[in-house]
Structure 1
């Protein structure tokens, strides 16, 4: 799927759209394609809160794996290792609220990535 507007960015796993950004926080919607996953990552400057809107997935949170469904939420403090994998045949959609003193997309430390982006 190609980006629909200037606030949307395509990724190998799907796409995200920035809904709002203000000093100290950013709100995005991530759409993860069926059987795709984001990189295993952490952030040095921001925490994240994910709320699952639709779909089924597995969230990696440090050493734990958590099955998530629509209505579930997961929090990641600064530097916590995390990832989401879509385990369904439908898109997984989540709202991400990032908070911190720096919210740039270059604040991603990728630890594993099946798309070769390390």
Structure 2
């Protein structure tokens, strides 16, 4: 199982196929992913635990466990953890390509491009 540690937390790839990719994402307290978009995929995030503050284009909303965020291809999005407990999501990607090089970062707390 692929596992990667990032400045905001970590993720595990649970399934990787030609048609989709599934990740378990842990966002540590005070962590947030870059504001980003993708050319070749859409994503569906299901919150498993914690309170996830999710931005999709110009809408920012708190999502609780069991709630689902649908991120269309090309939509600007990010998840943030404003709490003292980890946020865990399951991310399902659909599209034509799932590589990490299909991340276009608009804003990033960790100065990544």
Structure 1 residue matching 2:102: 3-state secondary structure: coil
Q: Distance in 2 between matches of 1:64 and 1:7?
A: 31
Partner of 1:99: 94
Structure 2, unmatched stretches of 5+, are none
Provide the aligned length of Structure 1 versus Structure 2.
113
Q: Distance in 2 between matches of 1:90 and 1:43?
A: 28
CA root-mean-square deviation: 0.7
Structure 1, unmatched stretches of 5+, are 1-5
Q: How far does the alpha carbon of each residue in 1:3-52 deviate from its partner, in whole angstroms, 9 at most, with x for none? A: xxx51000000000000011110000000000110000000000000000
Partner of 1:31: 26
In the alignment, structure 1 residue 113 sits paired with structure 2 residue 108: yes
List 4+ stretches of structure 1 deviating above 6 A: none
Partner of 1:3: none
Q: Distance in 2 between matches of 1:71 and 1:87?
A: 18
Match for 2:46 among 43, 51, 73?
A: 51
Q: Distance in 1 between matches of 2:74 and 2:91?
A: 16
